[in-house]
Amino acid sequence: MRVSLYLFMFVGFMLPFSAFASVITFENKVIDRLDLAGVQTEGDVSYQAFGEAFELTDRNQVSNSFLATRFNLENPVLGDHIDFTMSGHLFKFVQLDFASSPFNDTDDVTVRGFLNDTLVGEVLIDLDSPDRFEYLTALSTFSSPINLLSIEITRVGNGGGIRLDNIELISAVSLPSSLSMFGLGMLLFAARKRDKLVNSMTKEP
């Protein structure tokens, strides 16, 4: 009984820190026209592409799918974008990995966070390197909670696509619900201690 009580308190305490972290890896997915495939899900994250630019591919990799622009001859158009949401609740954008295709001039994308259609912050991904196959990491410049992350083509390069992978999001669990769970655990703990005290006192001769 005591073990389960401690477990309950531990879960209540850890919930705000670890419950809903998500890294979108696109694993085991190969979709040429992502915009035609509709809403995709990975864990508790949903995403949907608008416009021809985006594709999921594992080309030049063994078993590591990634999100890319302009694969299979589809040319990106300014404004093409892909939107990410997390089960209808608030979340934070942490970071993503990016690399270039082997061209000197690759597409630029801008990662934007929105809260109820209001722009919260943005990160420009601009990489032009013919030998930049290895991934770099772009950290978020904004930490406020959002309910939509949108990655948009903001410059069409001359022949080269950009690769994106490991998009890390973390759920922004509301503090009151986490605290109330922790508080409930504390109350139960206190109640158990009091019962024990009463029991031991009533056993006294």
For tokens 């990634």, what's the residue?
Answer: 66
Q: Lay out the site mask for Ca ion across 121-150 (x = CB under 5 A, - = otherwise).
A: -----x-x----------------------
Query: From CA 50, how far away is CA 55, in angstroms rounded?
Result: 11
Least spacing, CB of residue 85 vs Ca ion, in Å: 20
Does residue number 75 form part of the binding site for Ca ion (CB under 5 A)? no
Asked whether the CA dihedral 49, 52, 53, 56 is positive or negative, the reply is positive
- Side-chain half-sphere exposure of 196, counting CA atoms within 13 A: 8
Instruction: Tabulate helix, strand, coil % of the chain (nearest 5).
Output: 25, 40, 35
- Contact between 32 and Ca ion by CB under 5 A: the answer reads yes
What residues between 145 and 174 interact with Ca ion by CB under 5 A? 165
Candidates 42-50, 110-118, 120-128, 168-176; binding stretch for Ca ion (CB under 5 A): 120-128
Interacting residue with Ca ion among 71, 84, 93, 182 (CB under 5 A):
71
Nearest-approach distance from CB 91 to Ca ion, in angstroms: 20
Instruction: Out of 12, 56, 74, 91, name the contact with Ca ion by CB under 5 A.
Output: 74
d(CA 108, CA 157): 7
Query: How far is Cα 36 from Cα 185, in angstroms, rounded to an integer?
Result: 48
Inter-helix orientation angle 175-202/2-18, to 10°: 170
Smaller CB separation from Ca ion, 44 or 126: 126
Q: Is 61 in the site for Ca ion (CB under 5 A)?
A: no
Size of the site for Ca ion (CB under 5 A): 15
* List 40, 106, 140, 154, residue binding Ca ion (CB under 5 A): 106
| Cβ at position 86, least distance to Ca ion in Å | 18
**Of the ranges 12-20, 37-45, 98-106, 134-142, which one interacts with Ca ion (CB under 5 A)?**
98-106
Residue 151: CB atoms within 10 Å:
26
